[in-house]
Amino acid sequence: MNPVFAVLLPLVTAFLIPLGFIFFRKALPALVFFGASLSSLGGFFVALLGWSGISVVMGGWTPELGIALQVDALSASFLVLTSLGFPLALLSSAEWLGWNSWRFYVIFFLSWASTNGILVAGDIFNLFVFFEVFSVSAYLLVSFPASSWQAVEASFKYLVFGTLGALFLLLGISYTFMATEQLNMGILKDLFPAIPPPTLAVIGGCLLGGLLVKCGTVPAHFWLPDAHSSARPPISALLSGVLVKAPLYALLRLGMLFFLPALPKFFPLLLFFGTLSLGVGHLMAIQQEQIKRMLAYSTVAQIGTILLGIACASSLGITASLYHVFTHMSSKMGLFLVAGIFLEDRQVHKISDMRGFLRHRPFLVAAFALFAASLAGIPPLSGFQSKWLLLLACAEKGYLVPAIFLLGGTVISAAYYLKALGAFCSPAETPPPHHRTHRVTQGAVAFLVAFSLVLALLPWLPFTKEFLLTLSSGRFFP
């Protein structure tokens, strides 16, 4: 199966939605769900068939000129992530936003198509183009519906930072083209070691800077807590769970492909920014009064955690990072969905006012506790296992300070999740004014609980450990 279907199916759905709204308004939900199931299945199929590696060039051109698409084990695992995360967010947002706002669904499917596009792009200019479609749709998702001033401001801030990152990315890409006259990743891989070291340092700096701004690592993290906390709950879940992983994928891909053989200095820098994000993210999260801002700062810290594994640049480190990407997706999506329901029930923003949920919504509090425990790293859960793998990877490379930060972060995150759980469990004078039951969102939370439990079981099965380690054993570009 051609990897282009992973991009094409959501893109076609995005274009059909306005037509569906004009001509068959009654059939709009059916169209959206049909498109979403097709896109999700298409993503899974491309991931499955591309596991051992596919690479095609569109339009009958040579690889130097044409649009190259490739899928390998790394992009396939991220495709699984998008094919799971987007439908869950879609189901939940259909419940929150209803069917009158067809524009939302157009933006949503554009975002889906461009995220898949980043994952299957085989040349760096297409990577940039998909990044920009991805970013514009993400800005629009943050400020949807544009009635909240906070969301519009957050979106503007996101836009300024995102465009800054994109321009550095474009500068890096143009320097690469200047040095090699090539853009195809497979061809560039062999040309990179021949680039003179000063040029290579500039290219590495531009690409690293651009992608770090897009990820929201610490010196440029100011947009992330605003954007992730002021969007609607299912969109926050999507932003934190899935969309933030796309720049991380690009860092992993470009780092392993270009800079591992040619510029080893790239990785200590990544390690520095990862450790910084990890520390600052956790320290800021514990000071937050609002629950969604706390979760958003925790995302900053988790991005740092994932960067640590990439910076180790070993097979163990990459495996740990990939595993943590999935752990963070399942847990953080669930946390944002539960927090969204609680916020709507109580209509307050401060954590200390969100009392009395244990009586009212016991299952959701239990789910929140499970996700929080997983992210904080309580032993049998998947968060513990990914952090353990990360610690092993850091120890293997002799990175002592990041390992200590990782352990300290575990303690701090346990403290702030316990603060939230303590508020939920403490008795309230008045029962929360119950607004809506949110059956679909609760179903999504139940699915995420099951998914995190399955993730936690994964490394215990004898064959999957081997399987996890082969994910990253240098099989980039077959």
Query: Between 159 and 276, whose beta carbon lies closer to another protein?
Result: 159
Q: How many CB atoms lie within 10 A of CB 287?
A: 10
Q: How many CB atoms lie within 10 A of CB 59?
A: 7
Q: Which residue type occupies 435? A: H
Give helix 73-97 / helix 439-457 axis angle, nearest 10°. Answer: 160
Q: Is 347 left (phi over 0), alpha (psi -120 to 50) or beta?
A: left
Q: How far is the CB of 366 from another protein (least distance, A)?
A: 34
Tokens of 43: 């993503």
Can you tell me the distance from the alpha carbon of 307 to that of 301, in angstroms, rounded to the nearest whole number?
A: 10
Query: Between 140 and 235, whose beta carbon lies closer to another protein?
Result: 140
Can you tell me the distance from the alpha carbon of 445 to that of 285, in angstroms, rounded to the nearest whole number?
A: 23
Tokens of 206: 């531009």
Query: Between 88 and 107, whose beta carbon lies closer to another protein?
Result: 107
Q: Which residue type occupies 241? A: G
Q: Which residue type occupies 310? A: I
Q: How far is the CB of 150 from another protein (least distance, A)?
A: 6
Can you tell me the distance from the alpha carbon of 230 to that of 226, in angstroms, rounded to the nearest whole number?
A: 6
Query: Between 143 and 472, whose beta carbon lies closer to another protein?
Result: 143
Q: How far is the CB of 133 from another protein (least distance, A)?
A: 8
- Chain residues in the site for another protein (CB under 8 A): 65, 125, 128-129, 132, 135-136, 139-140, 143, 146, 149-150, 152-157, 159-160, 163-164, 166-167, 170-171, 174, 177-178, 181, 222, 226
Query: Between 99 and 177, whose beta carbon lies closer to another protein?
Result: 177
Q: Which residue type occupies 226? A: D
Q: How far is the CB of 276 from another protein (least distance, A)?
A: 17
Closest to 339 measured CA to CA, from 92, 112, 87: 92
Q: How far is the CB of 257 from another protein (least distance, A)?
A: 20
Query: Between 202 and 392, whose beta carbon lies closer to another protein?
Result: 202
Q: How far is the CB of 61 from another protein (least distance, A)?
A: 11
